[in-house]
């Protein structure tokens, strides 16, 4: 409307040409010419009457456009247009075509877009963002925490509040967790997907350490466990960009709602367990999601049922089982160490680095992305879990040996050999270690012969060095041929009033 006044002022008042007016106001020459013709037809001249404001001037020159705007503006349900745009493949041009089929004399496409933009500008910032149905789930932790009181000790701990919001419908989920650590972070999202009863295309977290190992604007490095979770559900994880608050506006809006409509109502209550706190949050969630929107029809729940729920993909048959990922190197004894227990891997991977996936019940070993073996998880520290097929063929033959068989073999060489092998089998922390040492003695018997082995065992027992390495050194240096060291007789015990003797300590 202001340009109509300027067209008349520059053309009639300043006596400028159509080209000059067009260039000054940034409009076409035909538009300037049409405006002047309408003003002349309306009987106007310069200067304009003082009581002719811009609104009246526009209605006087363009009465048909004003009537059409008034008529058409009342017919279009912009809230419905806004909801329709969230459907997959739905564009504003498609909705305009359908509108023109119903009203061939309706708005042009440019005017249609302009009016929709004006209507959308009156919505809240979070509501204005356009998200397709079932596309994005925004997840984050609230800044506010809730105190948990230990009923016995009175110790106060803080619980963290996890919030998840679907992009299209703003349907919201919240729960409390002990910490923001990786197990709690993953577990909360597993329960959130169960709450929504479906899987979106994308999950958008913030750059907290449990989600992103290394933040990057273009290719953030996700935590391996989080990647494993995403593969299980077939969902993409796209963290919000650093210092880009609009990327996570939905999550921040959901956090604000949860703090105002749930945590504020629980501020006077005292909770003695995490379960009690989550029960209270779950009881208030339906009311939050059922609250009517202020500037849109319906509520989060009604929008979820109409928009997001039909577009969500079904959940997998089994929920994700939390797993941690580590790296290990296969030792020469074909085992890897996990929390103090040793698990076997194929002997072809000796000295190679492998990935280890740990759940509460299993230990999976992967090499170059392929699983090579799996074991039941054991809590026995220092123990061994060995699959015979992982051993080289020569080692597999050793499995046919038993302690009794080894002792019978040793007895054939002599009593000293049997005594030394028996001590090897019983004095080692783990039976496997004793077996390995006994097999080494067996090898020495083949290399040096039974008489020399018996003499070497006798010397090792005499000097108190019962080990394979000591025995091999004696044989290599030929010490088995030397006479055994003399054993000094025990000295007579000293009898004196100040000497208490060994019996005193019993």
Q: Point out the least confidently predicted range of 9-13, 252-256, 349-353.
A: 9-13
Write out pLDDT tens, residues 42-58: 888 888 887 777 777 77
**Contact by Cβ (8 Å): 180, 210:** yes
Quote the pTM value: 0.53
Residue 79, CA distances (Å) to 83, 119, 135, 307, 396 in order: 6, 9, 20, 13, 74
Model confidence at 239: pLDDT above 70: yes
> Per-residue b/e over 264-284, b at no fewer than 16 CB within 10 Å?
eeeeeeebeebeebbebbeeb
State mean pLDDT over 2-21.
Answer: 80
| Number of CB atoms found within 10 A of residue 332's CB | 8
Tell me: cis bond preceding 16? Omega within 30 of 0 counts: no
Whole-number Å distance between alpha carbons of 233 and 197: 12
* Cα pseudo-dihedral 27, 32, 34, 35, rounded to 10: 110
Write out pLDDT tens, residues 12-30: 877 888 888 888 777 888 8
Whole-number Å distance between alpha carbons of 265 and 3: 53
**Contact by Cβ (8 Å): 223, 210:** yes
| Confidence tier at 244 by pLDDT (50, 70, 90) | low
- Using only C-alpha atoms, the chain has a radius of gyration, in whole angstroms, of 42
Write out pLDDT tens, residues 156-184: 999 999 999 998 888 999 999 999 888 89
**Contact by Cβ (8 Å): 330, 342:** no
- If you ran DSSP here, which 8-state letter would residue 466 be given? -
Query: Phi and psi for 318 in degrees, rounded to 5?
Result: -125, 140
State mean pLDDT over 413-434.
Answer: 80
Whole-number Å distance between alpha carbons of 14 and 25: 14
């Amino acid at each position: 409307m202001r340009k109509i006044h300027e067209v008349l002022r520059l053309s009639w008042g300043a006596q400028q040409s159509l080209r000059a007016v067009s260039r000054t106001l940034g409009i076409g020459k035909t538009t300037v010419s049409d405006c002047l013709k309408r003003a002349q037809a309306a009987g106007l001249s310069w200067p304009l009457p003082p009581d002719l404001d811009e609104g009246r001037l526009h209605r006087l020159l363009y009465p048909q456009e004003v009537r059409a705007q008034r008529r058409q503006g009342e017919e279009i349900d912009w809230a419905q247009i806004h909801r329709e745009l969230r459907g997959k493949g739905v564009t504003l041009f498609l909705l305009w075509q359908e509108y023109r089929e119903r009203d061939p004399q309706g708005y042009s496409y440019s005017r249609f877009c302009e009016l929709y933009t004006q209507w959308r500008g009156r919505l809240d910032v979070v509501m204005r963002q356009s998200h397709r149905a079932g596309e994005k789930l925004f997840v984050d932790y609230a800044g506010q925490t809730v105190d948990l009181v230990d009923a016995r000790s009175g110790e106060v701990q803080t619980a963290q509040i996890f919030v998840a919001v679907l992009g299209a419908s703003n349907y919201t989920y919240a729960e409390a967790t002990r910490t923001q650590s990786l197990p709690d972070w993953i577990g909360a999202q597993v329960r959130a997907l169960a709450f929504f009863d479906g899987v979106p295309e994308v999950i958008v977290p913030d750059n907290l350490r449990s989600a992103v190992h290394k933040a990057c604007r273009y290719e953030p490095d996700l935590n391996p466990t989080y990647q494993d979770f995403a593969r299980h559900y077939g969902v993409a994880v796209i963290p919000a960009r650093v210092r880009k608050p609009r990327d996570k506006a939905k999550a921040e809006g959901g956090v604000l709602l949860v703090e105002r409509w749930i945590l504020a109502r629980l501020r006077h209550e005292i909770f003695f367990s995490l379960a009690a706190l989550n029960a209270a949050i779950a009881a208030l969630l339906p009311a939050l999601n059922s609250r009517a929107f202020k500037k849109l029809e319906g509520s989060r729940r009604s929008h979820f049922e109409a928009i997001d729920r039909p577009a969500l993909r079904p959940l997998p048959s089994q929920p994700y089982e939390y797993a941690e990922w580590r790296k290990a190197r296969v030792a020469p004894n074909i085992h890897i160490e996990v929390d103090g227990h040793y698990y076997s891997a194929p002997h072809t991977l000796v000295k190679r680095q492998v990935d280890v996936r740990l759940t509460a019940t299993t230990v999976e070993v992967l090499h170059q992305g392929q699983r090579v073996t799996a074991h039941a998880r054991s809590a026995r520290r220092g123990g061994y879990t060995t699959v015979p097929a992982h051993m080289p063929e020569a080692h597999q033959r050793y499995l046919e040996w038993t302690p009794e068989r080894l002792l019978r073999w040793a007895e054939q060489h002599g009593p000293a050999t049997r005594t030394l092998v028996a001590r090897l089998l019983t004095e080692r922390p783990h039976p496997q270690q004793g077996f390995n040492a006994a097999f080494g003695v067996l090898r020495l018997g083949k290399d040096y012969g039974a008489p020399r082995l018996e003499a070497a065992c006798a010397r090792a027992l005499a000097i108190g060095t019962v080990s394979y390495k000591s025995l091999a050194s004696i044989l290599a240096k030929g010490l088995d041929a030397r006479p055994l060291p003399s054993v000094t007789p025990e000295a007579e015990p000293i009898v004196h009033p100040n000497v208490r003797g060994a019996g005193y300590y019993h």
